[in-house]
Amino acid sequence: MFKKILIANRGEIACRVIKTARRMGVKTVAVYSEADKDARHVELADEAVLIGPAPSRESYLVADRIIAAAKQTGAEAIHPGYGFLSENAEFSKRVEDEGLVFIGPKHASIAAMGDKIASKELAAKAKVSTIPGWNKPIESAERAVEIARDIGYPVMIKASAGGGGKGLRVAWNDKEAFDGFTSCRNEARNSFGDDRVFIEKFVEEPRHIEIQVLGDGHGNVVYLWERECSIQRRHQKVIEEAPSPFINDKTRKAMGEQAVALAKAVDYQSAGTVEFVVGKDQSFYFLEMNTRLQVEHPVTECITGLDLVEQMIRVAAGEKLAFGQKDVKRNGWAIECRINAEDPFRNFLPSTGRLVKYRPPSANMEASQPVPESGGVRVDTGVYEGGEIPMYYDSMIAKLIVHGRDRNEAIARMREALNAFVIRGISSNIPFQAALLAHPLFVAGKFNTGFIAEQYPKGFSIAMVRHEQPEFLLTIAAAAHRVFRERAATIGGQRRGHELQPGHDYVVVLRDAEGQREQTPVTVRREGDDLLVAVRGGSQHVVSFGDSLRDIAVRGRYDGQPFSVQLERTGLDYRIAHNGSGVSARVLSPRVAELEALMPFKAPPDLSKVLLSPMPGLLVDVAVQPGQTVRAGEKLAAIEAMKMENILFASQDCVVSEVAAKKGDSLAVDQVIMRFQ
């Protein structure tokens, strides 16, 4: 076994690998860029080495500096994590040539599976089901259209070296095929230095289901069941679960055996994932093989009880697998939500900055530790409260993983965990994740990879989420207000005869973005630890809080059932979020509510004459000039942040009067880019 390993990565996955190495008694070396000097993985590792400036191309992607750091610290092996150099066959070979061990598959296996065209040909030879398509590089957009017509729309246009949603488009007609080919080739050239593009049939109502495989250097390969990864947004996975609620045991076995056959065909030695697209009739086709640890590997760890990082390290050290296929168990149900630094109410644009508050839910499961028999909650992260989310890397804050006896229990546990997960200072996708978990089609397991696009075609807003208990949010607001009033009544120094009285009768006022006002009279009375809330024209509810309401995450009981809710008091407003739904409520006395109704509504400013930066980032392109007439849908500018390019389009016909920012500027959120006449 190795005495010391270097982790050629950052953030959550670096912290994850460190935990297993520590349990195995293996010392760790972290590498970090200048932007990550205070990062959590640097603190957790036994040693840390600075490898360059913030941009990944000058630090985490520089093989020479990583190998030099390993030699400098005496590390015997390098674990690449995922992303960066993890699937770079050249890097893997360099590591081996330098006398070090690459904790992952051999470079020949990475090369064979890293090329999507060659991997499909190899899969066909191994008798793995492959999808109809044109698997040779296509030389022009015109030729791409011809091929797409021959295959039959819809088609999927993919860059051979693509990944992470880059270099991938779905085309439903000739124009989309022409434009999609051009975009894919440009993205692939810029991101991967390889502009080869191929086309394949797009399976309608597809599900994305992947098989986890594990092989050693002694010819043994097993599959560790499947992961359902169909809940995606723009080809990026959002929620993953194991097992899949869709496929049957016959399909599960067939997919597993084909994945093993492919792994054996390339002499695969490590953890890897074979991805399939599965049709509504349970027909399945090979997509690609990821020759690395997957982001969603914890759900497999939860249902099998295996530590995949440990297995990777043991295999790299030359050990045989200690178990065979018949020994791989499948216990319960696991779900993972990716918690990202993005604003779901601004079309999921990246959100960078300081984590003013970071309070994950209570966890009783830990990476590298056995799963408790009753299941539980696990949080894998590389951040901490007060730390920065930099603009140079991906947007992941944490992975929230739960395990339950069955799918319904896992869903319920995940919803409670999301309700208790507090992030402030930056925006996160927690409200969207909570809404997905509450969606009846998700709960029923009736979804495919188009689920988010179909259910949220115009984006996501809080108004789209209807709480299953309509009176819950306003009842919590009224009960919380009573607690705050009781607390205020105990403050000393009040004038005798004029002491504050908590009172019983209130009016809960809700107002939407357009200024529409809705008010509900309530009566709140105290009975011991319970608050009895009577809603006028509704019913009576019993609320008890399990804490003093000093934290944002609040636990308690509502009509005898436990709940977790996020509650903040901002000025006169109570902001409450629960299960993806939220309100901003004012709780007033009847007289104050009567007077407040007479106050004019201050409408938000008209922003139709300006283009504002929707996020912090780098302005990489300005596509128009002052005086230019622009049609709705035309490109105005492009902003880059967190490795993604975001194009800003005109929402209406207009004439550009001024361009206030220039290419190369670093923009703040809501900074003016241009003005219109």
Q: Annotated active-site positions, please?
A: 288
**The pairing of beta strand 155-163 with beta strand 357-359:** unpaired
SS (H, E, C) 452-509: HHHHCCCCCCHHHCCCCCCCHHHHHHHHHHHHHHHHHHCCCCCCCCCCCCCCCEEEEE
Rounded CA gap, 115 and 110, in Å? 9
The H or E element spanning position 191 is helix 174-192
Q: Which residues contact 182 (CB under 8 A, 6 or more apart)?
A: 141
Find out whether 462 and 582 touch, Cβ atoms under 8 Å. yes
CA distance 109 to 111: 5
- Closest Cα to residue 39, out of 404, 502, 387? 387
> d(Cα 210, Cα 296) in Å, to the nearest integer?
10
CA angle, 352 as apex, 392 and 644 as ends, to 5°? 50
Among candidate residues 620, 625, 626, 628, the one with its CA nearest the CA of residue 663: 620
Alpha-carbon distance 179 to 181, whole Å? 6
Q: Are 85 and 66 in contact (CB under 8 A)?
A: yes
Q: To 5 degrees, how large is the angle CA 48–CA 52–CA 57?
A: 120
Structure tokens at 612: 């504002």
Sheet holding 654-659, edge to edge: 610-612, 672-676, 654-659, 629-630
Host H or E run for residue 259:
helix 249-265
Give every strand in the sheet of 27-33, ordered side by side: 47-52, 27-33, 4-7, 77-79, 101-102
**H or E segment to which residue 610 belongs:** strand 610-612
- The rounded distance, in Å, linking the Cα atoms of 556 and 579 is 15
Contact by Cβ (8 Å): 555, 546? yes
> How far is it, in rounded angstroms, from Cα 17 to Cα 31?
13
| Tokens found for residue 43 | 């603190």
One-letter identity of residue 175:
K
Residue 337: phi and psi, rounded to 5, are -110, 130
**CA separation for the pair 465, 260 (Å, rounded):** 42
